[in-house]
Amino acid sequence: MQKDKRCSWGLRIGLLGIFLFALANVTQAQTRITVSGTVTDKDTGEPLPAVNIGVKGTARGTTTNFDGEYSLTVDENAVLVFSFISFRTVEMPIEGRTNIDVAMEPIQIVGEDIVVVGYGTQSKEDVTGSVGSVDMDNIEKLPGNNLGDMLQGQVAGVSIRPGSGEPGAAPNVVIRGVGTIGDNDPLYIIDGVPGDISQVNTDNIESINVLKDAASAAIYGSRASNGVVIVETKRGSVGGSSISFNAYTGVQSLANKIDLANRSEYDLISQQMFSNAGSPPLGYTTGGNYADTDWQNEFFEPGFEQKYNLSIAGGTEELTYMISGGFFDQDGITINTDHQAVNLRVNSDYTKGKLKIGESFSYVRSNTKNLTGAAYDGGYGTIYQVMDMLPHTPVHNANNEGGYAGPQHSDMPKSNNPVATQMLTTNQSQTDFMQASVYAEYSILDNLTYELQLGTNVGNRYLDYFVPTYFTSSIYKREISYLEQNRSRDTETTLNTLLRYENYYKKHDFKLMAGYSQERGLYKSSNAAIDDLPSNEIRALSAGTGSASVSGGVYENTMRSQFGRVNYSYDNKYLFTGNIRRDGSSRFAESNRYGVFPSASVGWKITEENFFPDNAVMNEMKLRASWGKLGNQSIGDYQFIPTVSSGSNYINYVFGADQNIFTGGIITNFASSDIKWETTTSQNIGLDLAFLEDRILFTAEYFRNETTDMLVNVPIPATSGSSVGPLTNGGSMETEGLEFMARYRKGEGDFVYGIRANVSTSRNKVTQLGFKDEAFTGGFLEYGTHPTTRTVVGGEIARFYLYKTDGLFQNTQEVNEHSGNGGLLQPNAEPGDIRFKDTNGDGVLDEDDKVYMGSATPDFEFGVTFDANYKQFDFSLFLQGMYGNKMYNGTKFLTHRTDRNTNFAARLVNAWTPQNSGSNIPRNISGDPNGNARPSDRFLEDASYLRIQNVQVGYSLPNKWLDNYGVQKFRLYVSFQNLVTFTKYSGYDPSLSNFSLFRRGVDSGLYPLATKSMIGIQAKF
């Protein structure tokens, strides 16, 4: 491969120019003096470390050391601004003094003064893009170990929907609405390196910031179009050491059951179904010695959850450290599922003169007992099996191998016993995840710093799957055991190197940053399976004697990027930030390999203007606006390389007297050689207001994202010869939305309380799909049938597209009157069946009569936190919800369809009959000739909900009791999670969502969230 001769010389020269310009400006414009002093707490007189000292009207400043001391070189007539979390800000004109001591007055205000942005930090008041900071006080009150789940409802514009309540399951995270029909996952940066947030102990988190618009995220270029979540873990601070111990334990259980028929209800429904069809009843419904099992009771069970975390943090001026170890243990709320994680983290920083080096290291081992069977994304999950099972079947049968029972009668549906499946199958995964990074910072000049960071993430995953021999019925018997072991190894390495420079000239302040980064991801997997082990106790692959199979793959991708940023402010009133990043990715052919992503943002601090009164009720008012371009390359590796498929079941065939399998090899997919970067252009306008010394904060933002060159798998007709269409950059879509955040705190006195709320809304619209009919049909409930959503140009992604019901036919006359020019609209209908609307009035009831009926995207979603402290007591309440989102209730479809004999919803006993003509449930009719169970609004439900997500009451022991024991803090609490959900949705849980974009709002047997009750302690020594 030839080297690319154009390789960024322009950029190099440009950057060099910037540096030379910067150096040339290192001129002393005014008389400077060095000011030093000590900052103390006014109440206790103790020195305050880490106080921010800024120079008013500039972005310059420093912080105090452990002894509260500082030293700063400034203009002799500058004003110093001392600010610190929970203390009232002090402004102090220097007036020629060289020693200024300050005593700061503590106040009960929590502020997030510093936000972490890409490759650096920024004072919150200088932010011009859209950055959402998570209130860590809220997060600390949520039990659990999954950071993703905890972010639900915390930040305006960050939508989190659990994909499953299964222990250890990752949630669906969408920032600022769906922006592409491809991958919508945000980029996670953990301690400066891309990583996996599910592998971070939530007790170790120091801060979480979400970069929502292009201006803030563009520094992450190609992978930032879905937003960036920046997580920093806790580090030691200068001064002594402390030990923290947190622990909680509690129980969790299924929040609510679905209404399923018991045996006598089933018999009644089934008999009615067959009698209406003119057939004799099924034998087993007319009596006999059958059980009456409540399968939900058998399959779901309360589970235990506990978490312990011990950490030591501290340090000297040279060395700071944080060491933490934790253990998390969560049972599932179904039988035989659980998740455990053990983790260790060591973060340390060493400073010597101009050199600072440090590391972050974390190791997590987790063990998970999984739900067996396709869990959530389209397959026929075990939860569906629970609903299918007839109450007639007992759970156990001691005479069967394995001890479980199966269908008792030939005519019973051939559903397998879900308790047997879940209990007998071993389905355990084990993950070892290491995230390690080291960095070095060197101050070349006072205002010029060089940084180098090397990081590596190693994930080793292992799955152990074993099905023993067992017998539940002649249909479900396993005469031969099966063992499968899968291993994968994931290695990601990152190299970041940066130069930072900052300076000022008169009222001009600027910061420059330039960097280079390269990443490599390597994934290797090997899977092995064998049939027929000599005994159910033997679990070694080498012991198997049946058919064996192995598979595996190797995937590698690389990225290389150059980037730069300019922060400029004039007189601390007018702010400007400019970013540029150039990315090269191995996922594109040479001609399209590089993408350039610029952005710019401006801010105006109106309250800094001279015309603004100094002592106004409003203490901050800032307008922000930004524009930028971001890229997306989440398309999998090697997509542009045209390949020949070989060796799969689909294209292999058998020849010969010995029936040998021959490997097939043929082109099955058309090449996508021309694909290039998908680009999102994002615009953001924001307004920040603060009143009464930050007691009241308010932020409003409007954004508009436009994705172009969207990568679309063009659906092509099968007559072309390929079932999977080539990828093209043919699509485009728009997303826009509004976000509001407001906060109020009353900070003085014994009774301190606060309320914080956020609400956001977004709407997306597909503007182009790049192929003829421009539509995707999706949301299939059953193996490619029963579609529920459709995506067309001009509309939102994955809107429900369904037949419209119009009540029940009450008599034959109504059936006959429901006719068009071609005769009866529903020729197979009889009284008691559903009338479907001929919405286009063409006299035929067909696909064209389906109409759009909303989507899983809510009109708005919100989170509200109320917290209060009274003396030693604290209380917090967290509410969260969505409004206007729809859910297609697959469990309702499953339990209301009468074309099968699996179990039904109990309410079908009240189905329509000539005597019960007031019922809105269509008649029970075997075979469902009218298609009452066709995809229609019958199964579409309003899934708006308001949930009391967390309630916590805590009590901290008074200091006077603790001091003698060397205890700084000892807090006890009780906590209830997912306590109550107010909703009209009749399935298990309205908050869940499928992972696949075209079926997000389709509840196909999703594992429900648990309701939890916990007690815990937090102690600090």
Partner 1 sequence: MKPIKYLFLLSVVVVLFAGCDDDFLVQTNMNELNQELYWQDEGDVLQAITATYSQLQADDRWAWFEYHYVAQSYRSDLIRATRKDLPYAQRIANFTYSSDNISFGALWEDYYNGIFYANQVIENVPGMEGMDQAKKDEFVGEAKFLRGYYYLTLVTLFKNIPLVTTIPETSDDYYAAQVAPETIWTQIIEDFKEAKNTLPSSWSADFEGRATKWTAQGYLGKAYMFLERFSEAADEFEDVITQGPYDLLNTFTHNFDGSYENGVESLFEIQHTAARPNGFTESTPMYNEQAPGAMGGWEEFFPSDWLFNLMLTDTSAAGDLSGRALGTVFFDHPQSSADGVTYSSIKNELGVEKVFFKKYLYSNDISDGTLSRSGMNIHLMRYADVLLMHAEALNETDKTAQAIPFVNQVRARSGSAPIASGMNKSQLRDHLRNVERPLEFAMEYGIRWFDLARWNKDSNFSIKQTLTNHAKPDAANFQEGKHEIYPIPLSEMNKNDKLTQNPNY
Nearer to partner 1, 479 or 750 (CB): 479
Q: For partner 1, which residue of 662, 751, 965, 982 counts as binding (CB under 8 A)?
A: 662
Beta carbon nearer to partner 1, 398 or 644: 644
* Contact assessment for residue 158 and residue 147, using Cβ atoms and an 8 Å cutoff: no
Interface map 599-638 toward partner 1 (x if CB under 8 A): --------------------------------------xx
Min dist. Cβ of residue 774 to partner 1 (A): 10
Q: Name residues contacting partner 1, limited to 411-440 (CB under 8 A).
A: 411, 413-414
Smallest separation (angstroms) from partner 1 to the CB of 479: 4
Smallest distance from partner 1 to CB 411, Å: 4
In 155-196, which ranges are continuous DSSP H helix?
none
Output the smallest distance, CB 664 to partner 1, in A.
Answer: 3
Can you tell me which of 29, 355, 444, 616 binds partner 1, judged by CB under 8 A?
444
**Three-state SS for 19?**
helix
Nearer to partner 1, 455 or 931 (CB): 931
816 is a site residue for partner 1 (CB under 8 A)? no
If phi > 0 it is left, if psi is from -120 to 50 it is alpha, else beta; for residue 986 that is alpha
- Pick between residue 827 and residue 958 the one whose CB is nearest to partner 1: 827
Of positions 287, 353, 479, 537, contacts partner 1 by CB under 8 A:
479
Q: Kindly state whether residue 873 participates in binding partner 1, applying the rule CB under 8 A.
A: no
Contact criterion met (CB below 8 Å) for 382 and 373 = yes
Provide the minimum distance between the beta carbon of 329 and partner 1 in the complex, in angstroms, as a whole number. Answer: 35
DSSP secondary structure string, 453-466? Answer: EEEEEEEEEEEEEE
Q: Which residues 366-395 are close enough to bind partner 1 by CB under 8 A? A: none
Distance of closest approach, residue 827 Cβ to partner 1, in angstroms: 9
- List binders of partner 1 among 884-913 (CB under 8 A): 899-902
Smallest distance from partner 1 to CB 579, Å: 17
Q: State the alpha helices, DSSP H only, in 835-932.
A: 890-896
d(CA 359, CA 174): 31
Task: Compare residues 98 and 551 and give the one whose CB is closer to partner 1.
Answer: 551
CB of 819 to partner 1, least distance (A): 17
Instruction: State how far the Cα of 525 lies from the Cα of 515, in Å rounded to an integer.
Output: 33
Distance separating the N- and C-terminal Cα atoms of the chain: 60
Other beta carbons within 10 angstroms of residue 337's beta carbon come to 24
3-state secondary structure of 666: strand
Pick the stretch among 128-136, 208-216, 217-225, 927-935 that binds partner 1 (CB under 8 A): 927-935
Number of residues binding to partner 1, judged by CB under 8 A: 122
When binding is defined by CB under 8 A, the residue of 73, 286, 297, 474 that contacts partner 1 is 474
Q: Residue 555 or 751: which CB sits closer to partner 1?
A: 555
Interaction of residue 932 with partner 1, rule CB under 8 A:
no
Is residue 410 at the binding interface for partner 1, with CB under 8 A as the rule?
A: yes
* Minimum CB distance to partner 1 smaller for 477 or for 763: 477
Residues 695 and 680: their CA atoms lie apart, in Å, by 36
Kind and range of the H or E run holding 596: strand 594-605
Cβ contacts of residue 97 below 8 Å, gap of 6+? 35
Q: How far is the CB of 771 from partner 1 (least distance, A)?
A: 8
The answer for residues whose C-beta is within 8 angstroms of residue 865's C-beta and 6 or more apart is 135, 138, 754, 755, 756, 757, 876, 877, 878, 879
Q: Return the C-alpha torsion angle 696, 699, 700, 701, nearest 10.
A: 180
- CA distances 630 to 15, 213, 319, 377, 661, Å, are 21, 9, 39, 29, 48
> Among residues 371 and 530, whose Cβ is nearest to partner 1?
530
By the rule CB under 8 A, 356 interacts with partner 1 = no
CB of 713 to partner 1, least distance (A): 12
Distance CA 951, CA 875 (A): 8
Footprint on residues 739-778 left by partner 1 (CB under 8 A): 771-773, 775, 777
Q: Which of 240, 642, 843, 914 binds partner 1 (CB under 8 A)?
A: 642
Least Cα distance to 244 among 956, 873, 969 occurs for 969
> Considering only residues 289, 398, 542, 657, which one is a binding residue for partner 1 as defined by CB under 8 A?
657
Window 664-703: residues binding partner 1 (CB under 8 A) = 664-668, 670-671
d(CA 41, CA 50): 12
Site for partner 1 in 546-575 (CB under 8 A): 546-551, 553-560, 562
531 makes contact with partner 1 (CB under 8 A): yes
Contact 512, 566 (CB under 8 A): yes
The partner residues of 93 in beta bridges, in order of sequence, read 79
DSSP notation for 77-111:
T-EEEEEETTEEEEEEE-TT-SB--EEEPB-----
Nearer to partner 1, 398 or 654 (CB): 654
Residue 540, interface with partner 1 (CB under 8 A)?
Answer: no
Chain positions 14 to 33 lying near partner 1, rule: CB under 8 A, are: 15-16, 19, 23, 26
- Of 675, 632, 669, 668, the closest CA to residue 651 belongs to 668
**How near is the Cβ of 354 to partner 1 at its closest, in Å?**
13
CA distance 164 to 159: 15
Q: Which is nearer to partner 1, 495 or 623 (CB)?
A: 495
Q: Which stretch binds partner 1 (CB under 8 A): 106-114, 124-132, 318-326, 645-653?
A: 645-653
Min dist. Cβ of residue 355 to partner 1 (A): 15
Please select the residue that binds partner 1; options are 652, 910, 917, 959, rule is CB under 8 A. 652
Q: SS3 for 906?
A: helix
Please select the residue that binds partner 1; options are 357, 434, 438, 651, rule is CB under 8 A. Answer: 651
Least distance to partner 1 from the beta carbon of 597, Å? 17
Euclidean distance between CA atoms 346 and 226, whole angstroms? 30
Nearer to partner 1, 40 or 932 (CB): 932
Distance of alpha carbon 834 from alpha carbon 809, whole angstroms: 6
Of residues 272 and 601, the one with the C-beta less far from partner 1: 272
Binder to partner 1 among 73, 723, 872, 917 (CB under 8 A)? 723
Q: Is 283 in the site for partner 1 (CB under 8 A)?
A: yes
Other residues' Cβ atoms within 10 Å of the Cβ of residue 847: 10
> In angstroms, what is the minimal distance from the CB of 647 to partner 1?
8
Answer for the pair 463, 432: CB distance below 8 angstroms, yes or no. no
Q: Pick out residues in 933-962 that bind partner 1 (CB under 8 A).
A: none
**Strand pairing report for 819-820 and 171-175:** unpaired
Looking at the Cβ atoms of 192 and 332, the one nearer to partner 1 is 192
Cα angle: 797, vertex 803, 804; to 5 degrees: 110
Calculate Rg over the CA atoms of the chain: 32
Identity of the residue, 298 or 388, whose beta carbon is nearer to partner 1 in the bound complex: 388
Per DSSP, the three-state class of 218 is: helix
Contact between 661 and partner 1 per CB under 8 A = yes
Question: From the list 646, 811, 916, 917, which residue makes contact with partner 1 (rule: CB under 8 A)?
Answer: 646
Distance separating alpha carbons of residues 606 and 456, to the nearest angstrom = 44
- Cβ burial 245-257 (10 Å sphere, 16+ → b, else e): ebbbebebebbee
CB distance 332 to 382 below 8 Å: no
Joined together, the tokens standing for residue 406 give 């199966």
| Interacting residue with partner 1 among 92, 150, 200, 514 (CB under 8 A) | 514
Nearer to partner 1 (CB atom), residue 545 or residue 916: 545
Torsion of Cα atoms, 647 then 376 then 176 then 715, to 10°: 40
